[in-house]
Structure 1
Amino acid sequence: MSLRDLSVVMGVIMIIIMLVIPLPPFLLSILILINISLALIVILVTMNINEALDFSIFPSLLLLLTLFRLGLNVSTTRSILANGEAGGVIDTFGTFVTGNSALVGFVIFAILVIIQFLVITKGAERVSEVAARFTLDAMPGKQMSIDADLNAGLISEQQAKHRREKIAKEADFYGAMDGASKFVKGDAIAGIIIVLINILFGLIIGMTQMEMSFGEAIDTYMRLTVGDGLVSQIPALLISTATGITVTRAASDGNLGTDVTEQLLRYPKLLYIAAATIFCLGFTPIPFLLTAFIAAILAYGGWALSRTDEEEDISVEDEEEKKVSANMQSQDNVVELINMDPIEFEFGYALIPLADTSQGGDLLDRIVMIRRQLAIELGIVIPTVRIRDNIQLNPNEYRLNIKGNEVAKGELLLDHYLAMSPGMDDDTVEGIDTQEPAFGLPAKWINEETKEDAELFGYTVVDPPSVVSTHITEVIKRHAHELLGRQETKQLIEHLKASHPILVEEVTPEPLAVGDVQKVLAKLLRENVSIKNLPIIFETLADFGKMTNDTELLAEYARQALSVQITKQFAQGSDSIKVVTVSGKVEKVVAEHIQQTEHGSYLALDPEMQQAIVQSVAKEAEQLSLQSEMPIVLCSPAVRMYMKQLLERFLPQVSVLSYNELEPNVEVQSVGVVNVT
């Protein structure tokens, strides 16, 4: 136990001793001065904190100081009633206040007690109660605000955790202050009762046991009682004031003194009005010289503050000009220009209502939901989407950039709805012909009056915000592998390490570096395979990473380990899946033309054979699309990777699976065969 901890423990033991064992007067004087010193320190600390939580120990300290003060009251009462004295401090306070009249001293003491009990203590108790109630009521809203900032990418997980802890501490603090203020009120009541006991029983003891006259008893015990009351009530008054300051303190950048002087003297011209008013009072029976002197001080203060503000404004402008000049000349200013946002959404001026919350726009909220949705589906944290208007675009045009490159664009008509065709041409619904931007389906822009008719004819009708949200979602899905860099991969690894430390240690940094893991995960995302199940992926990397460092091959092993997930993804809840199989002849041709190099393997087919395979796959995929089925090619595990490499450039929408990636309980229906003549 440290010396500080020991001192607090000894202090509590001393308080208990004071309640039981009589203390000599000189020791009481020392303890009284310590009590006054502690009260001064507390009120000075409360005046210099920026927010209440900077003095979070105050509720507990308040209880200890109250107990200490009550212990002193018991000890001094025992000494006054038993010996007719209580030390030099109490005697000096009593003599100084009472002077030649014990009654006057008692009246002054009574006024002091009334001020503390009815004004400061009662007010601090009420403020503590209200602050505790409002803090608890505001907790849900503050928590939702933190979640919204976290989802929007404005703060990190660590910052969100810190803010949640601060909210919890605020609730605990104000709840504790609400309870502790009741002790302050009880202490004030106890002080009044102890004073009455000292006076009443002091008179009785002085006249009966010490054979004093009534006048001597009044003079002795009234003086000691008033002195005792003052040395206990002055610290109590300071502590009560500190309580009120703490619970009424709003968070700011400065302490109480700074805030009071800055805000009270913020408007120097008002001092002139106050000076003129005081000066006019000099024409009443109030002494003219006195009012003129006060008015002159106020006027001079207003003039001095006005000059100070002007000088500060000039210095601030000079500093800003210097900073701008330095930034323009600084090399860092040029470096900042090359910073690039991972995802940018730009739109023309006619689409500003989409993002303007004052006009009912909810695009920001939709993007927050998109990031949450993609985190759940893909298993990665999508970076913050930077939204801004661009006057270089057409009024109704928008575009999406990923790492500075345009990857998608479209047009919206905010006063229309997008009606997607049910699959048959129907001229009865009039509108502006267009294409649905996310999937390229034929559609029409229709107005409000045509909306109900379009729905009756089977059209799928959506509003413009939903159109652009869907487009953004699909584009980010297709480019998710570009958004996963080494830094993002490192964050995923750290997140996994918190729950699976041994698994992570077996994979990285040996035998696989972070860059190797990133390539495997990006390969999975490139083919729209979620990496949310990181433990299974890392189990596979731990098993096969020691055998090969070929990231393409490791990604194939990971796909096979995720067979349950892949089967569920492509079967879509059905017990069967329709596919186009690859003939043995094509598989043999592909297998024979795989070239092995020290940097990996690749497919080296002649152009004519490549074209023949691609045309065969395109023909079969078209047949599946006509049946509203996903175009899926099924082949053996040995050639799946190379078939995907071959088809990716020409038929990116075609998914290529291997037999090992499908669960045995799913029925595979072959509706076509990829073959070449």
Structure 2
Amino acid sequence: VTAPVTEAAEASWEDVAQVDVLGLEVGYRLIPLVDKAQDGDLLRRIKGIRKKFTQDMGFLPPAVHIRDNLDLPPSAYRITLKGAEIGMAEAHAQQLLAINPGNVSGTVPGTPTKDPAFGLPAIWIDTALREQAQAMGYTVVDAGTVVATHMSHLIQQNAAELLGRQELQQLLDHLGKLAPKLVEGLIPDLLPLTTVQKVMQNLLDEGMHIRDMRSILETLAEHAPKTQDASVLTALVRVALGPAIVQQFYPQAQELQVIGMDKELEYVLGQALQAGGSAIEPGLANTLLNETRVATEKQERLGLPTVLLVPGGIRDLLARFLKRALPQLKVISQEEVPGFKTIRVTSMVGGRA
């Protein structure tokens, strides 16, 4: 007797697995951190991170999808963005992480490692050593805090990627209820949604928030009839947001202590741009990078903000060029600085301060 043939089900759209925008995968030893039945409060902390991000950055990011992954080492966790890994580390649920902020008076027994969010030297220690480590100057946190802080840091770093068309549309819909005239007539009459999204992403990519949507949309509406170029529009929006940009880096200062650039070097870069180039000639690029690194390190030694002040015409080029090598450096244009602020050059690129 031949066995009946069971016909395989046809493939359908239901078989297409959607990639989570934000994901957290945990090894089996970290499951207690995300299991409410075992008093795991990582879910609550991640909700808190998402709420704080929304308040700080000005839009609601996608929810974090959490799941266990038995292919990971037991104490490992992995943070993903659109299916790609953006962070991976180990956390020990039964231990504490003692982080050395740079001024500890001794060492404690444990497993040396690095704090996954900021790369500071750290040690996984037994819970009984908490007070001893704190007395020596260590910052002591539990495994849930380690994962949550790492997640928070990576979400901030990748804010631009998290503002998809859906998130932007939700933001505009919300804004439309509060200030309908602000949104009406801009999209799609003056600008397509994709251009507005690109401007917002450009701002987020340089660590800026988009809370002041009134100024952003009013500036776009004013200049959209003259240009549809997202880079040009971003520069115009940055000028409108100038006071907020400066306040972000100099919260209370009347005098801005900045890194300046030699006039001759500014001229050479400006000429290169006018000649139609969007990249910097290799020899000049090397010198520029080395000199900027030295100036940035000097600012850090002086305990000053690492902010480079340049003419508006070359700001975008320099910001893009320097971002990968010197992520801590912020590049602002002279046009973004409010007139009532005074400027003092404390370090110099291409010359002497």
Alpha-carbon distance in 2 for matches of 1:543, 1:430: 62
Q: Match for 2:11 among 316, 325, 330?
A: 330
Q: Is the 8 A contact 2:157 2:207 kept in 1?
A: yes
Q: Measure, in 2, the Cα distance between the counterparts of 1:387 and 1:650.
A: 32
Letter in 2 for 1:351: L
Aligned-residue offset at 1:446:
2.1
Pairing partner for 1:631 from 297, 306, 311: 306
Which whole-Å CA distance do the structure 2 matches of 1:458 and 1:655 have between them? 31
- Between the aligned partners of 2:303 and 2:116, the Cα distance in structure 1 is 19
Q: Residue 654 of structure 1 is aligned with which of 329, 336, 343?
A: 329
Matched residue, 2:232: 553
**What's 1:437 paired with?**
116
Distance 1:463 1:576 in 2: 40
Code of the aligned partner of 1:330: A
Task: Report if aligned partners of 1:347, 1:396 keep a CA contact under 8 Å in 2.
Answer: yes
Shift of 1:390: 0.6
Give the C-alpha shift of residue 478 in structure 1: 0.9
- Number of equivalent positions: 347
Aligned match for 1:398, one of 77, 82, 87: 77
- What displacement does 1:652 show? 2.2
Unaligned runs of 5+ in 1: 1-323
CA contact (8 A) 1:496 1:535 kept: no
Q: Give a deviation string over 1:444-494, Cα, whole Å, max 9, x none.
A: 222223221221222222222112111111101111111212222222222
Is the partner of 1:603 in helix, strand or coil?
coil
Q: Does the C-alpha gap of structure 1 residues 593 and 362 become closer, same or farther in structure 2, counting only changes over 3 Å?
A: same
What is the alpha-carbon root mean square deviation over aligned residues?
2.1
Task: Tell me the SS of whatever aligns to 2:185.
Answer: helix
Deviations 1:178-217 (A, max 9, x none): xxxxxxxxxxxxxxxxxxxxxxxxxxxxxxxxxxxxxxxx
Say which structure, 1 or 2, has more relative contact order (CA 8 Å, 6+ apart): 2
* Aligned CA distance change for structure 1 residues 383 and 559 (closer, same or farther; 3 Å): same
Larger radius of gyration: 1
**Hey, what's the Cα distance between the residues in 2 that align with 1:676 and 1:634?**
14
- Equivalent position of 1:613 in the other structure: 288
- In 1, Cα distance between equivalents of 2:79 and 2:120: 19
* Distance change in 2, residues 1:479/1:325 (3 Å): farther
Does residue 523 of structure 1 match 2:202?
yes
* Deviation readout 1:207-240 (Å, 9 max, x if unpaired): xxxxxxxxxxxxxxxxxxxxxxxxxxxxxxxxxx
Q: Shift in Å at residue 622 of structure 1?
A: 1.7
SS for the counterpart of 2:124 is strand
- 1:582 and 2:261 correspond: yes
**Separation in 2, partners of 1:439, 1:629:** 19
TM-aligned CA deviation for residue 332 of structure 1 = 2.0
Q: SS of 1:585's equivalent? A: helix
The change in CA–CA distance for 1:462 and 1:515 in structure 2 (over 3 A counts) is: same
Superposition deviation, residue 381 in structure 1 = 0.9
Question: What secondary structure does 2:328 align onto?
Answer: coil
Q: What SS is found at the alignment partner of 2:184?
A: helix
- Kept in 1, the 8 Å contact 2:261–2:351? The answer is no
Per-residue deviation at 1:574?
A: 4.1
Q: Is the 8 A contact 1:570 1:577 kept in 2?
A: no
Match of 1:363 in 2: 42
Bigger share in helix: 1
Residue 189 of structure 1 corresponds to which residue in structure 2? none
**Are 2:89 and 1:423 equivalent residues in the alignment?**
no
Letter in 2 for 1:478: Q
Distance 2:303 2:87 in 1: 25
Counterpart mapping for 1:444-523 below 5 A = 444-523=123-202
By percentage of residues, which structure has more strand? 2
Instruction: Check if 1:542 corresponds to 2:221.
Output: yes
Does the 8 Å CA contact 2:25/2:77 hold for their aligned counterparts?
yes
Report what 1:95 is aligned to.
none
Aligned position for 2:87: 408
Aligned in 2, Cα 1:630/1:441: closer, same or farther, shift over 3 Å?
farther
Structure 2 residue runs without a partner (length 5+):
1-5
Write out per-residue CA displacement over residues 102-138 of structure 1, whole angstroms, 9 at most, x where no aligned residue. xxxxxxxxxxxxxxxxxxxxxxxxxxxxxxxxxxxxx
The alignment partner of 1:429 has SS state of coil
Shift of 1:670: 2.4
For the residues of structure 1 that align with 2:303 and 2:143, how far apart are their CA atoms? 26
Shift of 1:502: 2.1
